[in-house]
Structure 1
Amino acid sequence: MKTRPLSTMRSILSVLLAALFCTAGPLPAAAGGTQPTDGFMVELLRVFTFQDYNTRVVVAGTTLLGLAAGLIGTFLVLRKRALLSDTLSHATLPGIALAFIVMTLLTGDGKQLPALIAGAALFSVIATLSVLAIQRFSRLKDDAALGIVLSVYFGLGIALMGMATRMDAGNAAGLSSFIYGKTASMLFSDALLIGVTALVAAVICLLFFKEFSLVCFDADFGMTQGWPVTRLDFLMMALVILVTVIGLQAVGLILVVALLIIPAASARFWTFRLRTMLWLSGAFGALSGFLGSGISALMANLPAGAVIVLTASSFFLVSLVFGSARGLLRMGIGRIALRRKIRDENLLRDLYEWSETASNDEGNGPSAGQLMARRAWSPAALRHTANRMERRRMIRRSNGQKIRLTETGREAAREVVRRHRLWETYLITHADVAPGMVDLSADRIEHVLEPDLIRQLEIALADTAEKALPSSPHSLNVGKGVN
């Protein structure tokens, strides 16, 4: 009964991976004329269906580590303490070296993992307290405090490592794995320890989600409301230390920073909601550990820690470009749409204000040259905007290229002018902005005024007489007033 879920999962993964890689076409033929596709597919399915015991341990351990790092890394990024994780990871090195020296002198065997982890955790706490002390009792900025602690503790660690390697008793071989990581040597006990850590981190993040959110976004407000901000901040940092120390054996003290920062940074490109960001960050971290360790198992010459970080970096690059909330593509499309909206509304406003002037004949509109004289239109921008608005039946052009508003366009233009003048009046009557300077401020904000803000402006200006609304600053002659 216990093997059925595992066998079912293997079957599903086998079908999916076979379908994915078979569609990519066969691999190039080898020198002897044989196709290596079959052997590659067998090896691929063997790794990603967890047929080997060591593969199961390594993939499970790195996946759970990525999950834990992604969860707590979300709050670390939002707290603007990304460099603190780098400082803590480098500060573990003297703790590891000193623990090795002490255990070698006491027991003759310095490579006892619990003692090494305890030393790393102790120095991470000391480094955190050092950073806080420098920030509190000196006038140095946060980045300077972090840089000082990082360099001093890492230099101390290198010196202690040199002493450890020259000791007569004990074997210091393998200590460098804590710097660069040695994922392939992960034992079941290591994976179990990482799994427990991931579970603890996930449970604490869920239990203290509201409190951590408050500390990240407005710690001063939380302090005024009586929340124990200092203790909550210390709990958050304790989780960071825990994940950092546990991740040393997997990816090393240099690369563990990437698992704390990159998944959270990637998740932020996809959502504006903290809860969604938290789970996306955990998913990105878990997938980075899963795929990175799997690829490393396929290619023996690639270290797993580096591949895991590169996999996380690929998620970051995809998120940077295609993220649905803050991705470059989404922002670029949004800016193009906003630029078109601004031009459309500027054209509508120019035509409406032209119709307000006393010198114009009824139904006669301005020419392109007259519009360019009113506003800094380029001929190409005006032509494209007019063509677009004509397709939307907002304007029509006569044979003489005179541009006039349609009935639909007049209604839309009146709303644009109304928003503009509401904001102008608010700035004059409530913000003490000079009338000569108010048009530029209104022109910058009128295109992004939301309906709720418009209603608030109407309420704020309810007692303002209609004649107090400023006439159009773009009118060529004396304005008739506001319709």
Structure 2
Amino acid sequence: MSLGEYFELLFTDYTLGVITLGTAVLGAVTGMLGSFAVLRKQSLLGDAISHAALPGIALAFLFTGAKDSNVLLIGALISGLLGAFWIRGMVKNTHLKSDTALGLVLSLFFGLGMLLLTYIQKLPNANQAGLDKYLFGQAATLVAQDVWIMVAITAVSLFILLLFWKEFKLLLFDADYTKTLGFNTRFIDSLITFFIVIAIVIGLQTVGVVLMSAMLLAPAAAARQWTNTLTVMLGLAAFFAAFSGVYGTAISATQSNLSTGPVIVLVAAFFVLISFVFSPGRGLLFREIRFQKNRRELELKKTLQFMYSIAKTHEDISHPHAVKILNNFQGFTKKTLQQMVDKKWVTLNGAMWSMTALGYEEAENLYSQT
């Protein structure tokens, strides 16, 4: 099946529609909330929380003996929140840095989760569990109920985001100032962390524990390259992530033996690559273009200063001089000379050049600035 055929079936095939809508909604909410993690410089938080959710999934299965996705995700939510606030507690009450606390929680919880999964595999009903799917995700297991839960969580997240929009912005860019204004920064910070945990947990079934952090951070990192405005960044991150979900699902469905979660992450990574190279403000390509432009401008002005030092030795600044004199200056090229002619800084008559009043004034200004 080709991509064109897939998108034709999208509106007629119920299963394809549910899965695609689910990945799109998941992408929108994770991209939007992931922006806060990126701006708060807590990129590893998503990785730690997603790995911390694994023992919660395993314990929920052990306690209930069923693989009901809602029950398993509640276990993941509790475990993820425990990991998130454990990280905060270690950073606040000990001398550990945040990266150390994140690494400790990630390795400890993930190790416990893998131990529990190994234990579950030896149980008589291990074949009914399918918990290993939560490691790398399996979008094909999404049903309409899962999608409606994602839609509800997205709606609640948007409502809370609008309700506390001013507080969130203040906390992101100046936590100390937010505190001096009388806002409860601990509550606001906990609220952001809570919704980031929820976004991670609802994506575990689709993308998996191992790759969920990339789904959370990649669209936000890509969006950050295009704008300095928080509202625009949230919108772009949601769009990049939703598109990654839809297109990644399409590629996975049209190709055999391709897991949906990794493909979605690779599409999101493509957005990151394009953004890092081609974004006008921060992209590597435009940065190099600006660097070369500034370098040429600097060489042009240095050449003008050299010509000024020659012209001012005569009472008449328009006194002609031989072009070959400029060959002694390292930054001189025929192109820079022509550019100065175009700017009307000098005039050129055969093999002789003369400085104009405009060029003389420009050179004097350069000297006064240095």
Pair in the same fold by TM > 0.5: yes
Deviations 1:287-319 (A, max 9, x none): 111111122222242111111111111112222
How far apart, in 2, do the equivalents of 1:133 and 1:372 lie? Answer: 68
**AA in 1 matched with 2:336:** T
How far apart, in 1, do the equivalents of 2:155 and 2:117 lie? Answer: 33
Query: What are the ranges of 5 or more consecutive residues in structure 2 without an aligned counterpart?
Result: none
Percent of aligned pairs with the same amino acid: 35
Correspondence for 1:97:
58
Q: Structure 1 residues 166, 44: CA separation in 2 closer, same or farther (over 3 Å shift)? A: closer
Correspondence for 2:5:
43
Correspondence for 1:130:
86
Question: In 2, are the aligned partners of 1:86 and 1:257 still within 8 Å (CA)?
Answer: yes
CA apart distance, 1:40: 4.2
Give yes or no for the alignment of 1:386 onto 2:337.
yes
Question: In 2, are the aligned partners of 1:351 and 1:366 still within 8 Å (CA)?
Answer: no
How far apart, in 2, do the equivalents of 1:368 and 1:100 lie? Answer: 85
Structure 1 runs of 4+ aligned residues shifted over 6 Å read 365-373
Deviations 1:30-77 (A, max 9, x none): xxxxxxxxx747733433x42110001000000000000111111110
Secondary structure of residue in 2 paired with 1:253? coil
Give yes or no for the alignment of 1:321 onto 2:271.
no
Question: In 1, are the aligned partners of 2:35 and 2:234 still within 8 Å (CA)?
Answer: yes
How far apart, in 2, do the equivalents of 1:157 and 1:132 lie? Answer: 21
Which of 122, 132, 145 aligns to 1:189? It is 145
Correspondence for 1:213:
169
Query: What are the ranges of 5 or more consecutive residues in structure 1 without an aligned counterpart?
Result: 1-38, 105-109, 421-441, 443-483
Once the two structures are superposed, the pairs formed by residues 435-446 of structure 1 within 5 Å of their partners are 442=370
Mean CA deviation greater in 392-401 or 75-84:
392-401
Give yes or no for the alignment of 1:310 onto 2:266.
yes
CA apart distance, 1:245: 0.5
Give yes or no for the alignment of 1:343 onto 2:265.
no
| Structure of higher RCO (CA pairs closer than 8 Å, 6+ residues apart) | 2
CA apart distance, 1:263: 0.5
**AA in 2 matched with 1:134:** M
Correspondence for 2:107:
151
How far apart, in 2, do the equivalents of 1:40 and 1:116 lie? Answer: 35
Correspondence for 2:206:
250
Q: Structure 1 residues 305, 348: CA separation in 2 closer, same or farther (over 3 Å shift)? A: same
How far apart, in 1, do the equivalents of 2:262 and 2:307 lie? Answer: 61
Give yes or no for the alignment of 1:405 onto 2:350.
no
**AA in 2 matched with 1:406:** T
How far apart, in 2, do the equivalents of 1:242 and 1:347 lie? Answer: 61
CA apart distance, 1:247: 0.5
How far apart, in 2, do the equivalents of 1:51 and 1:129 lie? Answer: 44
TM-align CA RMSD: 2.5
How far apart, in 2, do the equivalents of 1:277 and 1:302 lie? Answer: 30
Deviations 1:255-310 (A, max 9, x none): 21112111111112222222111111111011111111122222242111111111
Correspondence for 2:27:
66
How far apart, in 2, do the equivalents of 1:334 and 1:41 lie? Answer: 39
How far apart, in 2, do the equivalents of 1:404 and 1:138 lie? Answer: 72
How far apart, in 1, do the equivalents of 2:16 and 2:174 lie? Answer: 44
How far apart, in 2, do the equivalents of 1:261 and 1:73 lie? Answer: 5
How far apart, in 2, do the equivalents of 1:40 and 1:129 lie? Answer: 46
Mean CA deviation greater in 52-61 or 133-142:
133-142
The aligned length equals 369
Q: Structure 1 residues 367, 82: CA separation in 2 closer, same or farther (over 3 Å shift)? A: farther
TM-score, with length taken from structure 2 = 0.91
**AA in 1 matched with 2:363:** A
Question: In 1, are the aligned partners of 2:87 and 2:105 still within 8 Å (CA)?
Answer: yes
Give yes or no for the alignment of 1:202 onto 2:158.
yes
Question: In 1, are the aligned partners of 2:2 and 2:254 still within 8 Å (CA)?
Answer: no
Secondary structure of residue in 2 paired with 1:396? strand
Question: In 2, are the aligned partners of 1:121 and 1:245 still within 8 Å (CA)?
Answer: yes
Deviations 1:180-219 (A, max 9, x none): 1010111110111111122222332333333222222221
CA apart distance, 1:112: 2.5
Secondary structure of residue in 2 paired with 1:254? coil
Q: Structure 1 residues 372, 91: CA separation in 2 closer, same or farther (over 3 Å shift)? A: farther
Give yes or no for the alignment of 1:240 onto 2:196.
yes
**AA in 2 matched with 1:56:** G
Which of 1 and 2 has greater Rg?
1
Q: Structure 1 residues 218, 53: CA separation in 2 closer, same or farther (over 3 Å shift)? A: same
Q: Structure 1 residues 42, 399: CA separation in 2 closer, same or farther (over 3 Å shift)? A: closer
